[in-house]
Amino acid sequence: MNSKFEALKLECYKANMDLNDLGLVVYTFGNVSAVDRAQGVFAIKPSGVSYEKLQPQDMVVVDFDNNQVEGDLKPSSDTKTHAYLYKHWDFIGGIAHTHALYSVSWAQSQKDIPIFGTTHADHLTHDIPCTPPLDDALIKGNYEHNTGIQIVNYFTEKGLNPNEIEMILIGNHGPFCWAKDAGNAVYNARVLEEIAHMAYLTLQINPAAKRLKDSLIKKHYERKHGDEAYYGQE
């Protein structure tokens, strides 16, 4: 691969293959992108290409205004959503979108995922938000671009912090996750799917299950992410 974007394409390719290896996609559903802020571009999976056939050189490079910079294939149909998020949230370095079973089931139910347990609290202190479905005018218009607007506006309206809550469900659609890089965006997508599954089973066992109490939320989040975090080896 002879390209000045070789490293970016390889990062994007590996993250997309991880998405597949972790069982988060079926057929060609889902995509991951990786950004290069210095060059003002991101790489993303091509549209409709099976993971079995995917190669690093197939990744498509696009700028934040959706202009195709490099690549012979068409980029993912969700590219405009990725572009909008990169343009408006300059702290993110990778985005993952899936149609994973339990994440999408919650999205189709148009329900936030309640924080029931410490697995959830290890990653964020809030319920995982679910936006309403897009309005008809937004669907008929620039749909994928407007999906990005829906995400950013929802965080603003609800006073949520996208640096902490690195995931969201789009009502009747599915999840978008982001992080400092593409690999961690995939990590968040897998965590979201696991939490969605756990929450579903919790409500099957006990429909009146209570949210995790605040003291446990605080303890589990801060031991991994607080100023005096002690989880792990660093």
Q: State the amino acid at position 35 in one-letter form.
A: V
Judge contact between 99 and 193, C-beta under 8 A.
Answer: no
Residue of 63, 112, 122, 181 marked catalytic: 122
Contacts of residue 214, Cβ cutoff 8 Å, sequence gap at least 6 = none
Q: In the chain, where are the structural domains located?
A: 6-225
Q: Would you state the pLDDT for residue 233?
A: 77
Residue 91 to residue 146: CA distance in whole angstroms = 20
Q: CA-based angle 15:20:24, to the nearest 5?
A: 105
The per-residue pLDDT for range 58-72, each reduced to its tens digit, is: 999 999 999 999 999
Closest CA relative to residue 75, chosen from 118, 37, 31, 108? 31
Q: Which residues of the chain have pLDDT under 50?
A: none
Q: How many CB atoms lie within 10 A of CB 101?
A: 14
For residue 89, what pLDDT is reported?
A: 97
The whole-number pLDDT of residue 70 equals 94
Cβ-contact 32, 79 below 8 angstroms:
no
**Which residue stretches of the chain are H helix?**
6-21, 79-88, 101-109, 118-121, 136-140, 143-158, 182-205, 214-225
102 is catalytic: no
pLDDT of residue 42: 98
State the helix-helix crossing angle for 101-109 and 182-205, rounded to 10 degrees.
70
Quick check: is 63 catalytic? no
pLDDT of res. 228:
82
Alpha carbon 63 to its chain's center: 19
Range 6-225 has CATH code 3.40.225.10: yes
Round to whole Å and give the CA distance between 173 and 185: 18
